[in-house]
Amino acid sequence: MIPYVHRRTLEVVARTAAVLEAGELLAHRVAARQAGIACEPKAARFLGVQARQEAFHARVFASAARLLAPKVTAANPAERALAALASRLDSDLDAGELWSSVVGLQVALEALGQAVLDELEGVVARHVPALAPLHGLLARQEAAHRAFGTRCAARAIECGELTPARLRGATRDYDALVGELLMACAEVLDGFGVPYERYAERFEAALPRWFRVAASA
């Protein structure tokens, strides 16, 4: 049973769900494209599974918004920032730059996703505890996507498939684009009583050291 939740909280949940749904749909589309150009069968299989999981996550967030706030119409405040991120990811994929796109999706965007899901854990447990197990499942799957991408990108750097120049360009661009995405979501996320700065700190902490070093080089 879903307990009574204040209308203001419902509105924040609905707006947050709209952002998360759009982000998951983007991740689904990009992971599917990545699976199509990955040369290693193991990587292609993982990316195909990720694409299906991201589609499932999008349905979860859409359903959560309808369940918790059926009368609230929520605009997506991050639409423009997501479009800019999608454009950069598509540019990498159009050029066959799989590992640069992995830096963008599985490393940078998933780091932000982890930061948001970690902070929302307490919100879900407090306001909608019935959804806590589902939240945990999504968090574990997203963590697996990030771990896979971080390992693959690090291996590509070591063997020279991701050159220093391409790595610098990818980390700088995606760090800026994901930062803009977080800033676009700041007002919504602040509605849960968690300041923007805490999400930003969690995002930075979730990035691997090689990402931070390359982005600042």
Residue 67 within any structural domain of the chain: yes
pLDDT of residue 14: 76
Q: Which domain holds residue 209?
A: 7-216
Residue 172 within any structural domain of the chain: yes
CA 54 to CA 26: how far, in whole Å?
9
Q: How many domains does the chain have?
A: 1
Annotate 33-99 with DSSP letters as a single string.
Answer: HHHHH--SHHHHHHHHHHHHHHHHHHHHHHHHHHHH-TT-----TTHHHHHHHHHHHHHHHHTT-HH
Residue 2 within any structural domain of the chain: no
Residue 144 within any structural domain of the chain: yes
Token pair 């879900």 in the structure block, residue: 124
Residue 34 within any structural domain of the chain: yes
Give pLDDT tens digits for 142-199: 999 999 999 999 999 999 999 999 999 999 999 999 999 999 988 888 877 788 899 9
Residue 1 within any structural domain of the chain: no
* CATH number of the domain within which 39 lies: 1.20.1260.10
Residue 45 within any structural domain of the chain: yes
pTM: 0.92
